[in-house]
């Protein structure tokens, strides 16, 4: 795969996801009378841009790894002006810091929410116009001496339930096994028109995903095919499309939070964390498969961006919301000096995460 085939899809995906995120901030800032001086896609030197009638500079910058909205009077990441006395009464009304607490909270949270809405729109459109997979999963093969083989699963078993979750498609089989809270996996199957229950002790193995990337995941040693080799892809109405889209968004959020929680307590490896290089690589690979896989990966990245930004880390939206919560409880904001300390700590955490994820990316490419 050429570098161009990786970079161009990556830039398109990141630009759309970041634009939607920042536009969420921008829209509610304008709604509540906060003046926006800059709307940037990317960081660093401006490549091109324009200034609208309200004085907002819309620009595209050299480094396409994010973006930002800058509010009038901002002098630091906390959107705090130096001194209110520097501004006239009219100008003070344009500052984020002078807005009501709930308005500031809405402006800050609108970015992540916009990312979830983008994912909802993408999934819903895919399900309505191209369909959702409801293929019935059947075991094609059981590897000899594998956990499934030892538990008694057989070729031809139709998988009904995994860990008390009803299975409605082939993709849910691998998802349910990989994201099981424990290594002991409960599986119910249909065999000769009778239901049988099994308990399978999964193992963790290094493997490759559908795109050839190295991953570690739980496995039980089975291969799955659709019942009678028939792919059952159904186009959904708007209500069902939204319902299944919300389920997919919630599944992505809950599985991500489960992984982060396990990583923090040390029961899950941190080498699955990926950064810009891995995202670019996967985006390029998916783009070659067609527009639907590309839109799907865009939806998943959008969910991830929205979720990460809600983490209570200073510099992220979640950090701002944490400070607003403190202000709500105490009745006064955290001192600017303390906010500065927290933002320095947040900057250190973000750089550490970026360094670690980039190391994992390079390690995955065999450079370490």
In the structure encoding, which two tokens stand for residue 7, read together? 């970079």
Give how far Cα 130 sits from Cα of 56, 149, 285, 293, Å.
39, 37, 21, 11
Burial track 73-96 (b if 16+ CB lie within 10 A, e otherwise): bbeebbbbbeeeeebeeeeeebbb
Structural contact between residues 168 and 247, judged by C-beta atoms closer than 8 angstroms: no
SS3 233: strand
Confidence of residue 218 (pLDDT cuts 50, 70, 90): confident
Per-domain boundaries in the chain: 3-129+299-364, 133-234
Sole residue written with tokens 């839109």: 295
| 143 phi/psi in degrees, rounded to 5 | -70, 135
Its pTM stands at 0.84
Pairwise pLDDT comparison (340 vs 192), residue with the higher score: 192
Range of weakest confidence among 122-136, 205-219, 237-251, 321-335: 205-219
Indicate whether 222 pLDDT > 80.
yes
Q: If one looks up domain 133-234 in CATH, what number appears?
A: 2.30.42.10
What whole-number distance in Å separates Cα of residue 338 and Cα of residue 42? Answer: 29
Pairwise pLDDT comparison (268 vs 320), residue with the higher score: 320
Indicate whether 137 pLDDT > 70.
yes
Confidence of residue 108 (pLDDT cuts 50, 70, 90): very high
Q: Which residues are catalytically annotated?
A: 22
Indicate whether 270 pLDDT > 70.
no
Alpha helices in the chain (DSSP H): 3-31, 89-92, 101-129, 147-151, 170-178, 238-265, 276-287, 291-309, 317-330, 336-364
- Cα angle 362, 365, 367 (rounded to 5 degrees) comes to 60
| pLDDT single digits (tens) 240-254 | 999 999 999 998 898
Polymer length in residues for the chain:
368
In the structure encoding, which two tokens stand for residue 313, read together? 């880390």
Q: What percent of the chain has pLDDT over 90?
A: 44
In the structure encoding, which two tokens stand for residue 188, read together? 């119910």
What whole-number distance in Å separates Cα of residue 47 and Cα of residue 119? Answer: 29
Confidence of residue 366 (pLDDT cuts 50, 70, 90): low
| pLDDT single digits (tens) 37-86 | 999 999 999 999 999 999 999 999 998 888 999 999 877 655 666 677 78
Pairwise pLDDT comparison (31 vs 3), residue with the higher score: 31
- Interval 109-134 mean pLDDT: 95
Strand bridging mode 137-142 / 132-133: unpaired
What whole-number distance in Å separates Cα of residue 363 and Cα of residue 347? Answer: 24
């Amino acid at each position: 795969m050429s570098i161009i085939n990786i970079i161009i899809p990556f830039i398109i995906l990141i630009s759309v996801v970041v634009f939607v995120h920042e536009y969420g901030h921008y829209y509610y800032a304008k709604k509540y009378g906060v003046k926006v001086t800059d709307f940037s896609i990317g960081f660093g030197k401006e490549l091109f841009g324009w200034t609208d009638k309200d004085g907002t500079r819309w620009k595209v910058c050299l480094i396409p790894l994010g973006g930002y909205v800058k509010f009038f009077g901002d002098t630091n990441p906390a959107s705090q002006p130096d001194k209110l006395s520097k501004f006239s009464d009219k100008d003070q009304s344009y500052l984020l810091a002078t807005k009501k607490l709930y308005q500031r909270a809405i402006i800050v949270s609108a970015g992540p929410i916009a990312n979830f809405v983008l994912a909802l729109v993408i999934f819903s459109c895919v399900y309505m116009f191209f369909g959702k997979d409801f293929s019935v999963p059947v075991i094609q093969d059981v590897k000899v001496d594998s956990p499934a083989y030892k538990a008694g699963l057989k070729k031809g078993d139709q998988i009904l339930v995994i860990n008390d979750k009803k299975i409605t498609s082939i993709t849910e089989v691998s998802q349910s096994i990989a994201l099981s809270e424990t290594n002991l996996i409960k599986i119910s199957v249909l065999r000769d028109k009778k239901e049988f229950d099994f308990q399978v002790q999964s193992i963790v193995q290094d493997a490759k995903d559908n795109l050839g990337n190295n991953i570690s995941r739980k496995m039980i040693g089975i291969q799955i095919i659709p019942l009678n080799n028939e792919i059952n892809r159904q186009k959904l109405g708007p209500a069902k499309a939204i319902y299944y889209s919300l389920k997919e968004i919630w599944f992505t959020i809950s599985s991500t939070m489960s992984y982060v929680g396990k990583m923090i307590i040390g029961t899950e490896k941190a080498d699955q964390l990926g950064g810009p290089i891995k995202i670019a690589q996967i985006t390029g690979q998916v783009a070659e498969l067609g527009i639907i896989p590309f839109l799907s990966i865009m939806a998943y990245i959008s969910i991830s961006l929205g979720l990460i930004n809600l983490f209570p880390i200073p510099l992220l939206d979640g950090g701002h919301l944490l400070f607003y919560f403190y202000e709500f409880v105490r009745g006064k904001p955290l001192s600017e000096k303390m906010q500065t300390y927290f933002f320095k700590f947040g900057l250190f955490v973000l750089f550490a995460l970026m360094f670690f994820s980039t190391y994992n990316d390079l390690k995955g490419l065999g450079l370490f």
